[in-house]
Structure 1
Amino acid sequence: MYEAYTDLLQQGETDDEDMLCHKTYFLPNGDNVSLQESINIISQGTTGLSTWQAALNLAEWAIEKCRLFDNRKVLELGSGLGMTGLSICKQCNVKSFTFSDCHYQVLYLLMRNIEINLSQRETNSEDTDLTLEPENSSKEKKMMKSICRQLSVNSEITNESSSDIMEISYNSMVSSTGGIQKDYSYSDCDNFEPNSIYWSTTDNENIYELRSDDRVRLAKLDWESSNKQFIESLDPDIILAADVVYDKTIIPALVFVLHILLSKTTECGEKPVAYVASTIRNEDTRDHFLISLGAEGLSYTITEPPKEKVFFYDDVIPVEILKIYKA
């Protein structure tokens, strides 16, 4: 704590922005996805501020399976910074796409990344920051400064190997009594409000629509606290998730959400299908997830991995994509 405190004291006002960077990923159709993300692997107990291997792998798989998404309603659980979803929105012909997450900071950067990539607005090629109306500028800057300062506290964790980070990050959220420690400054969902310039409200206070493209929605979804009625209202044909299976303690909530979503019947009279991509870091955690699926009456098969690598990332640790469905 002392080292982190002294590091913060040495930082100037301009150093905060150094905790965030922009990365651009090029798609096969000539388009690209530009993401604002943390330079650190973990911050404030969340891994959602960086793009992870499974998200890139799932995006590659989805690009090869574009026809699967034709005129389908897609929901992504734990969207993180939006890499998978934005790739699908730009490469495939979806009927709708709902991004979802819970952590306050992740939702905020996810919102910005959706705006940067999908809002119909003119941008300066040398500056990908959003152009804000005067009444929103102060609030937006304050939010970004808060995120950057909190990112800086965890900068030294980048020295850890990526294969251990998921477990480290979640353990840092759990107290000795097993309780999950929430964000120190904000509650995860209650303080999040999208920029009204780009987003409109819906009948549900936890769901927002992108003004320039009403196919795109953003949902505040906490697996542990959301009720069944809200989860059912999301009404997807296809559910996607990447790198959400990394700790046994969150698996019950995840499987609970999947069970509700996969038990419904779509407008076409079919059951929805989920595709969950996981980097296999811990066999015990993976097996626990599979056993939990079976206990809820959910079946699964292992899908073929993407044939071609589109993005540059470390693929030493294998990624497994499960097709999950209600038998």
Structure 2
Amino acid sequence: MAAAAAEQELLLHLKLAFLAREPPACVLSLARKAGGGSVTPHVQNFILESCTGNNNNSSLNRTEKIYKEISFISPTNDNKQVSLVARLSCSINMLEGDTGCSLWPSGLFLSEFILSYPKIFSRKCCFELGSGVGLVGVCLNYVSASKVILTDGDASTLENMKGNMEMNNLCVEQEGSQLPEENKNKVQCKYLSWEETSESDLWDCRPDLVLGADIIYDPVCVPHLIRVLSMLLRRGNNRGTNNVANKEETSNEFSSAATEVPVAYIATVIRNAETFNCFDKAAADAKLSVVNITNSEAPLSLLPYMLSYDRSSVQLLKITLLS
């Protein structure tokens, strides 16, 4: 019985890797694992019937884009194998400059963090910087954030993001209009240039939580990023939040998340120590506290089938305004 369950789990991982468009070497590795060391006829038939045979529009190549399905394994033992499936249009070649339409390890890590600690984000106004394909937004909606605001400074990335929201049955609120309060599946997608944005541009944005994935990448952009973070955290600190009412619910997550102080969570891969040191110094100068919580608040591993995803390379930072 246990052996059969283990085999089914391996075959599920193989199928999910197919739908996520994992690299061929990763898919082959999973196929061999499912076959006990080789790609057996049974595994071959499974691939033909359950993977290639069921391919739909969400995983087909279309011009310069590829459609992926990112399936998060259920963190609970409720007989539900997959808790959330995010369907995303992504760039085929991230080296061609279309980085905003690519799927990055930090975005996957931040998404796992959200799904691992849902009570931190439930009933909170969440604002993401550099939202890219919008995966974090899909996860925030899934855990019932009260408001989800996604932003990016690239127009083509923003359009792709809006399409991804619609592909996941989320309604995109148009500028100047407001969807009914009872409509829970809604997000805002806004153009935001860190260099040009001002306090007035963020007048209506008073977030409880600010998020970002792989947004510390260029020392030239660091001062602008720090300025925007400071504005958002300061504006959030002036709002009347629902955090007090939510305090008891979040007490088992992290006690710090239950306070009224707005918090930023940034997932990043430190590719260049000099760039990160530049960010760290600029944050200190702006009186921002930066704490690495990668180990203390590690998310669950909800994407075990994505062999190309190196979780160990990602750092998770918690940022607040110093009082």
Normalised by the length of structure 2, the TM-score is 0.66
Q: CA deviation at 1:308?
A: 2.8
1:69-148 correspondence runs (5 A): 69-90=121-142, 92-119=143-170
Aligned partner letter, 1:300: V
| Contact in 2 for aligned 1:95/1:215 (Cα 8 Å) | no
| CA distance, structure 2, for counterparts of residue 282 and residue 317 of structure 1 | 16
| CA distance, structure 2, for counterparts of residue 81 and residue 225 of structure 1 | 22
CA offsets, 1:259-298, max 9 Å, x none? 1111122313833110111111111111110100001111
- Are the structure 2 counterparts of residues 309 and 214 from structure 1 closer, same or farther at C-alpha, using a change threshold of 3 Å? closer
Q: CA deviation at 1:199?
A: 4.5
Match of 1:273 in 2: 263
Secondary structure of residue in 1 paired with 2:220: helix
| CA distance, structure 2, for counterparts of residue 221 and residue 18 of structure 1 | 27
Aligned partner letter, 1:107: L
Residue 284 of structure 1 is aligned with which of 251, 267, 274? 274
Structure 2 gaps, min length 5:
1-60, 75-81, 244-259
Match of 1:39 in 2: 92
Secondary structure of residue in 2 paired with 1:248: coil
1:166-315 correspondence runs (5 A): 199-202=173-176, 213=184, 215-264=186-235, 265=237, 266-268=239-241, 270-305=260-295, 306-311=298-303, 312=306, 313-315=308-310
Aligned partner letter, 2:162: M
| CA distance, structure 1, for counterparts of residue 162 and residue 226 of structure 2 | 26
| Contact in 2 for aligned 1:242/1:277 (Cα 8 Å) | yes
Percent of residue pairs bearing the same amino acid type: 27
Match of 1:30 in 2: 83
| CA distance, structure 1, for counterparts of residue 132 and residue 270 of structure 2 | 19
The two structures, once aligned, show a CA RMSD in angstroms of 2.3
Q: CA deviation at 1:220?
A: 1.1
Count of matched residue pairs: 229
Secondary structure of residue in 2 paired with 1:290: helix
Match of 1:51 in 2: 103
Q: CA deviation at 1:244?
A: 0.4
Q: CA deviation at 1:58?
A: 0.8
- Are the structure 2 counterparts of residues 291 and 38 from structure 1 closer, same or farther at C-alpha, using a change threshold of 3 Å? same
Match of 1:321 in 2: 316
Answering whether residue 112 of structure 2 is matched by residue 60 of structure 1, we say yes
| Contact in 2 for aligned 1:209/1:218 (Cα 8 Å) | no
CA offsets, 1:136-176, max 9 Å, x none? xxxxxxxxxxxxxxxxxxxxxxxxxxxxxxxxxxxxxxxxx
| CA distance, structure 1, for counterparts of residue 86 and residue 199 of structure 2 | 33
Which fold has the larger relative contact order, with Cα–Cα distance below 8 Å and residues 6 or more apart in sequence?
1
Match of 1:160 in 2: none
Please identify the structure whose Cα radius of gyration is greater. Answer: 2
CA offsets, 1:101-160, max 9 Å, x none? 11011001001000110337xxxxxxxxxxxxxxxxxxxxxxxxxxxxxxxxxxxxxxxx
Secondary structure of residue in 1 paired with 2:211: strand
- Are the structure 2 counterparts of residues 58 and 119 from structure 1 closer, same or farther at C-alpha, using a change threshold of 3 Å? closer
| CA distance, structure 2, for counterparts of residue 86 and residue 210 of structure 1 | 19
| Contact in 1 for aligned 2:174/2:188 (Cα 8 Å) | no
Q: CA deviation at 1:310?
A: 1.6
| Contact in 1 for aligned 2:155/2:191 (Cα 8 Å) | no
Secondary structure of residue in 2 paired with 1:267: coil
Q: CA deviation at 1:47?
A: 1.2
| Contact in 2 for aligned 1:301/1:324 (Cα 8 Å) | yes
- Are the structure 2 counterparts of residues 51 and 93 from structure 1 closer, same or farther at C-alpha, using a change threshold of 3 Å? same
Aligned partner letter, 1:25: I
Aligned partner letter, 1:256: R
| Contact in 1 for aligned 2:105/2:311 (Cα 8 Å) | no
Greater mean alpha carbon deviation, residues 309-318 or residues 219-228: 309-318
Aligned partner letter, 2:240: E
Secondary structure of residue in 2 paired with 1:259: helix
| CA distance, structure 2, for counterparts of residue 300 and residue 31 of structure 1 | 30
| Contact in 2 for aligned 1:279/1:317 (Cα 8 Å) | no
| Contact in 2 for aligned 1:199/1:210 (Cα 8 Å) | no
Structure 1 gaps, min length 5:
1-15, 121-197
Secondary structure of residue in 1 paired with 2:70: strand
